[in-house]
Structure 1
């Protein structure tokens, strides 16, 4: 977490000469974050999104979109898109995941706030971003067969897997004819608690225009935090009660849950195999449990049979053994 070489010059040009730069966080991409503080005590967050691996322009654009519609995204103080540097407003330290670890009694109230943000998001025009196409959904779901299957030494029916997704996702594509902005990583590690009744949003640079159930799945089937099933059900009910969505929406929720969880299993395996980030293997048992719950929905019966035939239960979480080859 050494700051990028151009950071002091960039900060000086933005009026933050001599600011202290301290590591804050990295994530599953090439992006890194640093907290900066100037001599007057002003604090900000430096995003390092190095090209060609990363492009910070979408983050800046979505931040402006969200802020323009009354959401609490970090204000962009300065940017050098050519070199992948962005100075952001610091939204503080009260991240949803850690806050609830110390204040579990607030879990329902905080999740209600997070649900209400998604309800607000569906009520505004979608951002000027690409569509979440069927091809994109399938490309993501294939990460499981491309990365997990070989890591687990499994030979699977890839063609059958893709065909099933193409068929199962057809109603989702039809239902998103009027899309919403899908933030795509809307979960407890990307939500900040600000004041009493405000939520700050982070990590939305990959937003697409798609189905509103996707972000619900991100939140309620969190890859990094156990969300009680009763809470998941209550929050889904809350969303449906306000929006007037019906049973078809529950089916789409299960379909997109299975798609997203299959994708994440593939991504976390890739982070281990390709990038040497073995810690992501510890999340696989949770991801398989979530995927299996989604596959239990009657609409996903063909996909459940595919998994039963191609990925034996005893191989589904077996990669976590000390980060070694399965």
Structure 2
């Protein structure tokens, strides 16, 4: 049962030695987000310094980082994954001095680790997580208390440590690896003498409020709700010879997976530019995937079946609505009115009608550079390690080709887009009968659908979620949209976009 809102919870951890104290610091570091405050209390010699160093070094990803005591400077700041500010208030003359130190400003974009928090009086945030270290025989006892998101994230991080202990990785070093636009995050975990592994932390999806017919957006768009989707699709792809992470441990209830590490080879060149040969290799892998028959019922575990949803009209429509919900005002300076919304929906409905005869198959949905590991020392399809496919569904197979050839995170010039599509078409023809004309139309439709959706999502990430970095991608996505709308089948839709100032002239 989930705790009630505002209910204080307490966790305790026995720390038999300094290594265990440092691991506790790692566990806390993996959970910290901007705005979090950790109030660290304890007698002299209780291990506060060891714990603080464990947090800071894990946040920085540098096990040997020098972490001086801020006793005399009062605060020491670190440019880590989340900017981290280490306070020592032992010499604080009065709580009001925290205002001069800029605690509130620091918490707006970073996290704070505060020793001697009792000297702060009532100046600490009310949701600060309190951690007290006390002597316990030859070791220490850590008592962590709090309520709210920061405490719950820390508690979840402790649960991850317990999960890792199951397959013998309880003493592994944890380092933040990456996150994405969802609540999922990833860590690398290492043990001496072992190959690095990846920990996926995938909380159950929070569906949000109903937006249409009593259904939330994520339900209509068929976003995966549990990690079972990843497990089921991973197993199916592996059985088909696709290089995906091996699942070495799983906790479906909590959303934890321990995975093999596919490597760190970039799908792009050292300057972040697309490499034509890698895109064509990925297109040929897609051709192999799309030429196969896939069951829509996939097993994640005995008795746990994941049903691949259909990429139906409702899902496609609610995704493209993100453009009028978010991008229109950003691009034109005025919100979309009812007439515009109705015209937009009508134009897209006519386009979706054209997909009735498109080839349907397994759609991985986010098949682009961030989710592909290049392994140049291998051969054939094994050169491509594939990640992040839990939202896969059954739909127009051309969608994945558009996702690859019009890569949202990197500028793909028309020449490489053409080479990628040509490689896919040639591979499909080698593998059997293939309607190239029907594919070209479906490719244009799905490219326009996907890039319309992304324009809305990236503006939403800035305006709703405070992630302005996504705005840098908008010119590229708008250009991709114009390329897709140049197909004759989309002439009426292109006219609507043009009349409403959403694109320029489509060649």
Question: Aligned residue for 1:196?
Answer: 378
- Between Structure 1 and Structure 2, the one with more strand by share is 2
2:479 and 2:496 map into 1 onto residues whose CA distance is 16
1:264 and 1:186 map into 2 onto residues whose CA distance is 14
Alignment CA distance shift 1:229-1:101 (3 Å): farther
Deviates more, 1:153-162 or 1:23-32: 153-162
Partner of residue 291 from structure 2, selected from 115, 123, 129 = 123
* TM superposition shift of 1:290: 0.7
Deviations 1:111-168 (A, max 9, x none): 2210111111012222421111112111111111112224443334111111111111
Question: Aligned residue for 2:335?
Answer: 154
Q: Map of 1:162-181 to 2, 5 A cutoff?
A: 162-176=345-359, 179-181=360-362
Pair 1:50 & 2:203 matched = yes
Pair 1:111 & 2:294 matched = no
Pair 1:28 & 2:181 matched = yes
Question: Aligned residue for 2:171?
Answer: 18
1:206 and 1:173 map into 2 onto residues whose CA distance is 22
Question: Aligned residue for 2:319?
Answer: 140
Alignment CA distance shift 1:52-1:253 (3 Å): closer
Matched residue SS, 2:411: coil
Matched residue SS, 1:180: strand
Matched residue SS, 1:101: coil
* TM superposition shift of 1:313: 5.0
Pair 1:187 & 2:368 matched = yes
Question: Aligned residue for 1:96?
Answer: 267
Matched residue SS, 2:421: helix
Deviates more, 1:256-265 or 1:187-196: 187-196
Deviations 1:209-239 (A, max 9, x none): 1111100000000111111211211221222
1:159 and 1:103 map into 2 onto residues whose CA distance is 40
Matched residue SS, 1:189: helix
Unpaired stretches in structure 2, ≥5 consecutive residues: 1-28, 32-156, 207-224, 297-307, 429-433
Pair 1:299 & 2:481 matched = no
Residues 478, 503 of structure 2: 8 Å contact kept: no
Pair 1:249 & 2:417 matched = no
**Over aligned residue pairs, what C-alpha RMSD do you find?**
1.9
Scaled by the length of structure 2, what TM-score is found?
A: 0.58
Q: Map of 1:255-266 to 2, 5 A cutoff?
A: 255-266=445-456
* TM superposition shift of 1:73: 0.6
Residues 154, 311 of structure 1: 8 Å contact kept: no
Unpaired stretches in structure 1, ≥5 consecutive residues: 315-326
- Between Structure 1 and Structure 2, the one with more helix by share is 1
1:309 and 1:108 map into 2 onto residues whose CA distance is 35
Partner of residue 243 from structure 2, selected from 69, 72, 79 = 72
Question: Aligned residue for 2:480?
Answer: 290
Matched residue SS, 2:374: strand
Residues 169, 191 of structure 2: 8 Å contact kept: yes
2:358 and 2:335 map into 1 onto residues whose CA distance is 34
* TM superposition shift of 1:296: 1.9
* Higher RCO (Cα < 8 Å, 6 or more apart): 1
Deviates more, 1:46-55 or 1:150-159: 150-159
Question: Aligned residue for 2:399?
Answer: 214
Residues 328, 502 of structure 2: 8 Å contact kept: no
Larger radius of gyration: 2
Pair 1:2 & 2:30 matched = yes
Alignment CA distance shift 1:127-1:279 (3 Å): farther
Residues 155, 310 of structure 1: 8 Å contact kept: no
Pair 1:38 & 2:210 matched = no
